[in-house]
């Protein structure tokens, strides 16, 4: 099949590779422009661009996906189908309606659950036991199009975003390779979503990083796993932000009368902090501002923290499930 691929992030790389390996005619790869990154703010190419150039593919990086120039250029390629995976921008109808077989998306959730920009992170943060990948046809609306095929996988109890994202990327690539020949032959027709079951996974922002000690420890532990490396999970020592790298909730114990955010124990592994409903969070590793990551025990020793010290309360919000 002759196709155009839209992708930017690392999640999309296995899908791009799978399409190339299966011998599809890759007319063009569309990815986001290079963006400044790192301490020197040197322009950094998206992971998809790096892989596409390694494969010898034509790459374009439009600033404006709604430009007439881009539409005309894509039409000239006469693709049979377009594939989108972690592109990072919403395509207009003028683009997704171009191919005869439409434009399909590799989405990292079991649609209609977790429509939106951050499905992997929110599935972990909300304590789901499983997630997956869905191949769907793009239409107007946020991830509302009909579904070709889905595949599910369990979310392990201690799984982080950094662990789950590459697993789902590989699953999505395998699913895509299976689906495309069936779409081409007409054997597979998309099925409308059950919109009544839809939930949202909105784009993450810095405010999502602030840990609220008044929430249960298990909820905070999930957020720490879900939001690393970005936007991270932030607590405050006075006015200084500290990023929590890893932590685990502790088994229930006797009721605790200390206020939320109070250190109740410091051991060789780290610090035990009281959270909502008397639960306890065992902080294992963290990173003070402008410093390297370290064990929580080392930080406590360096900052001369003792049981009874109380961290400032932060703020955060979790979107409703519906």
What is the pLDDT at residue 257? 80
Share of the chain above pLDDT 70, in %: 96
Domains of the chain from N-terminus onward? 2-197 (3.40.50.170), 206-303 (3.10.25.10)
Tokens of 201: 């996974």
What is the pLDDT at residue 41? 81
Task: Check: CB of residue 240 under 8 Å from CB of residue 289.
Answer: yes
Task: Check: CB of residue 44 under 8 Å from CB of residue 32.
Answer: no
What is the pLDDT at residue 238? 86
Total residues found in the chain within this entry: 322
Quick: pLDDT tens for 57-85. 999 999 999 999 999 999 999 999 999 99
The residue among 261, 214, 270, 206 whose CA lies nearest residue 232 is: 206
Helical packing angle, 13-21 and 161-185, nearest 10°: 40
Tokens of 162: 């950094």
What is the pLDDT at residue 314? 56
Q: Give every strand in the sheet of 59-60, ordered side by side.
A: 59-60, 25-30, 2-7, 81-85, 103-107, 130-137, 147-154
Q: Does the pTM exceed 0.85? A: yes
Residue 216 has a CB neighbour count (10 Å cut-off) of 15
Alpha carbons 214 and 314: distance in angstroms, whole number: 9
Mapped onto helix, strand or coil, the DSSP state of residue 73 is helix
221 burial via Cβ count (<10 Å: 0-12, 13-18, 19+): buried
Phi first, then psi, for residue 305 (nearest 5°) are: -80, 145
Phi first, then psi, for residue 111 (nearest 5°) are: -55, 145
- The low-confidence residues of the chain, meaning pLDDT below 70, are 313-322
Is cis: bond before 78, omega within 30 of 0? no
What is the pLDDT at residue 316? 42
What is the pLDDT at residue 319? 39
Task: Check: CB of residue 236 under 8 Å from CB of residue 311.
Answer: yes
What is the pLDDT at residue 253? 75
What is the pLDDT at residue 256? 75
Alpha carbons 48 and 61: distance in angstroms, whole number: 11
- Cα R_g (the chain), whole angstroms: 22
Residue 6: its H or E element: strand 2-7
What is the pLDDT at residue 190? 97
What is the pLDDT at residue 317? 38
What is the pLDDT at residue 322? 36
């Amino acid at each position: 099949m002759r196709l155009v691929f839209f992708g930017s992030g690392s999640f999309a790389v296995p899908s791009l590779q799978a399409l190339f390996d299966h011998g599809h005619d890759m007319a063009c790869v569309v990815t986001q422009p290079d963006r400044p990154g790192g301490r020197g703010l040197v322009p950094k190419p998206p992971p998809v661009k790096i892989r596409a150039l390694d494969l010898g593919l034509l790459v374009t990086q439009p600033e404006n996906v709604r430009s007439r120039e881009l539409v005309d250029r894509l039409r000239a390629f006469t693709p049979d189908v377009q594939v989108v995976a972690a592109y990072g921008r919403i395509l207009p109808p003028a683009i997704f309606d171009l191919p005869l077989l439409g434009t399909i998306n590799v989405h990292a959730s079991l649609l209609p659950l977790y429509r939106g920009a951050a499905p992997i992170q929110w599935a972990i943060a909300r304590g789901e036991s499983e997630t997956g990948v869905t191949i769907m046809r793009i239409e107007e609306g946020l991830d509302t199009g009909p579904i070709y095929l889905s595949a599910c996988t369990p979310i392990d109890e201690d799984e982080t975003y950094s662990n789950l994202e590459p697993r789902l990327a590989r699953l999505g690539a395998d699913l895509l390779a299976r689906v495309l020949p069936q779409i081409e032959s007409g054997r597979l027709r998309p099925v409308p979503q059950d919109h009544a079951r839809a939930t949202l996974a909105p784009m993450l922002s810095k405010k999502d990083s602030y840990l609220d000690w008044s929430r249960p420890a298990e909820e905070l532990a999930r957020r720490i796993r879900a939001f690393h490396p970005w936007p991270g999970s932030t607590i405050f020592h006075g006015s200084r932000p500290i990023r929590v790298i890893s932590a685990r909730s502790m088994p229930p114990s006797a009721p605790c009368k200390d206020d939320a955010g109070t250190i109740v124990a410091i051991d060789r592994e780290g610090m035990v902090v009281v959270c909502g409903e008397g639960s306890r969070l065992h902080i294992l590793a963290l990173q003070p501002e402008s410093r390297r990551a370290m064990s929580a025990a080392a930080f406590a020793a360096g900052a001369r923290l003792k049981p009874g010290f109380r961290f400032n309360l932060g703020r955060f919000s979790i979107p409703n499930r519906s």
